[in-house]
Structure 1
């Protein structure tokens, strides 16, 4: 989450009253209207006034607005009620104001009342940031262009925690299986933040990382519940302490090793890709994913150019060599990893052995610049598979 987005969310949560709307052509003056300035919905007068404007008169007040937590304007909120006009506008920003241009049309404007005369405002211009803002505050698309209801504030995280708690109470065993843990963490996150299939398909790299983080949070909730009292009690022997510690560590490793595979499967399901997971190939090897199917792989008449293999490893600096003989019919081995950064020498060696890295898009910048064009994002890889399966 970037800094401006995070500050916008926090400002809404901490403010007395907050408002959001999409910036329109009418706001910027692109429609040829008599005046530029943000139009504020009639029902949102409480953002600035104690009483609504009265038809037949104008009234205004001046306020200080801090934009993007960077610079301030002395702006004017005015109700135009004389003649045929009946509208509220926020005006006066100065000549160099950067958020009333044609390119701002479609951006999300957020205004938060901090004190009676001081406000904070943010402009979000990226689709991902706007969707993240709405999801974090659980704001429906029907609640844009108006006051953000208090019941929508701080509910997404609360819903996620409540979902984790409900799952913990439902457990009959000490720990769920890895797939049960992954599925429930993902469902809790999706339901709490309003994540739909359309959103997943628009940004699979981002949502995959969110799912992995949510599962880690859920695992910690369960782990703390199961082990807090044991750790706080006395261990009779060093051996008893070691056994408990090893149990905890081994369970952590087991979960982390399967987590990535489970969530990748769900991504592929969302895109309706044909694949088989853990299909036995030569030498009893089991690639994590074969596209389109394991049956296709074992059919000697199936075109090898349409066969794709993907291995998944959270880290791969040393373990990437393990995948080289997992599917002999497939020359190029694709490897998805959460590893952030690999040396140029190691990357050269990987490509010499026909290993193509796939990483989450946000991690791409952590790799040496000369290799970035050769590394696929998850979205790139999905498009490659879809193209292959469409032929």
Structure 2
């Protein structure tokens, strides 16, 4: 069994589990407090019976088995004295391998097996991280906290009502990913009465809300479609495996196109001129080209007004794929939901003229000294708008 399979099994079989992207603040790269994993305040049920109280510190020691390989006696601690108000996981012993700068951007999973015993896993590759998200049916926006149980409904009642009405209109089991993205977005916008001006003024917030809404719709659709299937025993292990693989592959396929669909809508609302999946050199198809392929192939068109944007939910491994997608465009932009990337990788991206674009809420997950080189979505839109004047 692979590490990601063990991590999935551990999280699914635990009474409570937690996930987060490892950030510079965890490794001590920011120069703040001592190294140790920072845990979101909402995660206190993972290790305490009650929430920490300001003005006091409290801790809990437990054995943690890492990667199904070695154990540490570590300390969950709440710092509430003075100006501090945070939870951390510390004390891993000498030569602990998962608190280096190269681990920034990796996914940490902690599963509670008993009050004094936990299992923890660190996933590094994009494929492993996406496999974990698909198996647990969560998105990258749902990290840095307790992993919701499959039976939990996290969306507001009015949003769920819209989802259920939509599902009743379907004549197929699972519609195309574009339709799921569009329908979930419409439900969210109607349920929360979001205006066009709100989307234009805060695209960074809205795209994350759209992604969350789509995941909620997809969960609701899955629960509806597989309700009868999971009630009855499978006739053989092979049938079980085939069904499970079908479910997981559909999840991964949808997630892979989801971000692209929502970005496309943001660009439309922002009234930008762009094209998707057009062919450049060597039959390459960049996700987004601004303004269009005619301008790209026009040798007299100012190259400074050509913009390429690739979209990848995670990019620790895959960012290099975009380097030869458009030879005329020196700087390649890459929108990602990756939270945190090591300094070494950021330096390499800079060397190859790749500029990251991330939601504003994720900017703080990157090392302080590199944030000025990273665009938030709002600033990217303004940049493209400036090239189209």
TM-score, length-normalised on structure 2? 0.60
2:219 paired residue number: 220
Q: Does 1:337 align with 2:307?
A: no
User: 2-side partners of 1:298 and 1:159: how far apart?
Assistant: 48
Equivalent position SS for 1:228: coil
2:256 paired residue number: 257
Supply the RMSD in Å over aligned alpha carbons.
1.4
Q: How far did 1:192 drift?
A: 0.7
Q: How far did 1:362 drift?
A: 0.2
User: 2-side partners of 1:241 and 1:347: how far apart?
Assistant: 42
Q: How far did 1:308 drift?
A: 0.2
1:236 paired residue number: 235
Q: How far did 1:300 drift?
A: 1.7
2:15 paired residue number: none
Equivalent position SS for 2:227: helix
2:172 paired residue number: 173
1:356 paired residue number: 355
Partner deviation per Cα, 1:236-271 (whole Å, 9 max, x = no partner): 111111111111011001110110000000000011
1:300 paired residue number: 299
2:315 paired residue number: 316
Q: Bigger shift: 281-290 or 227-236? A: 227-236
Q: How far did 1:228 drift?
A: 2.4
Equivalent position SS for 2:235: coil
2:271 paired residue number: 272
User: 1-side partners of 2:237 and 2:315: how far apart?
Assistant: 34
Q: How far did 1:158 drift?
A: 2.6
1:378 paired residue number: 377
1:96 paired residue number: none
Partner deviation per Cα, 1:77-131 (whole Å, 9 max, x = no partner): xxxxxxxxxxxxxxxxxxxxxxxxxxxxxxxxxxxxxxxxxxxxxxxxxxxxxxx
Partner deviation per Cα, 1:53-86 (whole Å, 9 max, x = no partner): xxxxxxxxxxxxxxxxx9xxxxxxxxxxxxxxxx
1:197 paired residue number: 196
1:128 paired residue number: none
Equivalent position SS for 1:316: coil
Q: How far did 1:235 drift?
A: 1.1
Gaps of 5+ in 2: 1-53, 55-154
TM-score, length-normalised on structure 1? 0.59
Equivalent position SS for 2:228: helix
Q: Larger Cα Rg: Structure 1 or Structure 2? A: 1
Q: How far did 1:233 drift?
A: 1.3
Equivalent position SS for 1:327: coil
2:99 paired residue number: none
2:185 paired residue number: 186
User: 2-side partners of 1:235 and 1:301: how far apart?
Assistant: 63
Equivalent position SS for 1:273: coil
User: 1-side partners of 2:330 and 2:323: how far apart?
Assistant: 9
User: 1-side partners of 2:272 and 2:209: how far apart?
Assistant: 21
Q: How far did 1:296 drift?
A: 1.0
1:283 paired residue number: 282
User: 2-side partners of 1:169 and 1:366: how far apart?
Assistant: 40
User: 2-side partners of 1:237 and 1:230: how far apart?
Assistant: 14
1:159 paired residue number: 158
Q: How does 1:67-106 map to 2 (within 5 A)?
A: none
Higher relative contact order (CA 8 A, sep 6+): 2
Q: How far did 1:302 drift?
A: 1.2
Gaps of 5+ in 1: 1-69, 71-155
Partner deviation per Cα, 1:159-179 (whole Å, 9 max, x = no partner): 211110100101100001100
Partner deviation per Cα, 1:291-325 (whole Å, 9 max, x = no partner): 01122112222111110000000000000000001
User: 2-side partners of 1:281 and 1:231: how far apart?
Assistant: 46
1:121 paired residue number: none
Q: How far did 1:283 drift?
A: 1.0
Q: How many positions carry a matched residue from both structures?
A: 237
User: 2-side partners of 1:219 and 1:346: how far apart?
Assistant: 33
